[in-house]
Amino acid sequence: MTLAQWVSLLALNLAGAASPGPDMILIMRLATRSRTHVLAAALGIQLGVVMWTSLTVFGAAAILTAYPSVLAFVQLIGGIALIWMGRNMAMAGWRDRSTKPVDLADAALRLGSLKSAFKTGWLTNIANPKIVLFLAAIVAPLLPQSPSIGLSIAVIAALTLSAFLLFVVVAFFLSTKAVRRRVLAAGPWIDIASGVLFMVIGGSLAINGLVTMIWA
């Protein structure tokens, strides 16, 4: 791959990672509550990115694009998972609206363990199979027909690390104490809004998957 191709690949990947979606919504939600939790979630998201990117680079993702019914089933399951996570977020925010966090430590404590944040990040990413279509669109035209193992690993690493660095920048900007103090009282409403967005995105995925399965 040429330098221009690498630049194009990374630019498109960063544009995709920065676009509004479940991953970015989760990062922004957690960043306003706890820096350590948002970084744990970012690592979980990147584990999902590694999995999807590996499938794309090594050609396995072609199965999903070649067989619409398989991709539709994955979309249906992923959509249901996002709806479930969104429901939990919204309900947690609704419960906390009358007992808002008293300080930053209390806000972070209500998020649960770092392990839970990591799992949420991973599940959020893995539940959205649209990343396969995006990656296939930007990776396939740039890779040679039979890429070497070294090039394949380099592409996976470049896509994963560039997206992770973007999330880290957003996380550090939104997780400063000044920002967190300003939005402390709004924490429950941020949870509710994030939950609703998750349910809307999940519902769209699930409906699209179900319709495709019926008409495929």
The string of pLDDT tens digits covering residues 60-100 is: 666 766 777 877 888 899 899 999 999 999 998 898 777 77
The string of pLDDT tens digits covering residues 157-192 is: 999 999 999 999 999 998 888 888 888 777 888 889
Asked whether the predicted pLDDT for residue 204 surpasses 80, the reply is: yes
Between residues 66 and 49, which one has the greater pLDDT? Answer: 49
CB of 60 closer than 8 Å to CB of 140: no
CA dist 148 → 3, 135, 141, 144 (Å)? 17, 18, 16, 9
pLDDT at 179: 85
As a whole number, the mean pLDDT across the chain is 86
Asked whether the predicted pLDDT for residue 205 surpasses 70, the reply is: yes
pLDDT at 67: 75
Model pTM? 0.84
CA atoms within 13 Å, Cβ hemisphere of 36: 11
How far the first Cα of the chain sits from its last, in Å, is: 37
What is the distance between the alpha carbons of residues 43 and 9, in angstroms, rounded to a whole number? 21
In three-state form (DSSP H/G/I as H, E/B as E, the rest C), the secondary structure along the chain is CCHHHHHHHHHHHHHHHHCCCHHHHHHHHHHCCCHHHHHHHHHHHHHHHHHHHHHHHCCCCHHHHHCHHHHHHHHHHHHHHHHHHHHHHHHHHHHHCCCCCCCHHHHHHCCCCHHHHHHHHHHHHHCCCHHHHHHHHHHCCCCCCCCCHHHHHHHHHHHHHHHHHHHHHHHHHHCCHHHHHHCCCCHHHHHHHHHHHHHHHHHHHHHHHHHHHHHC
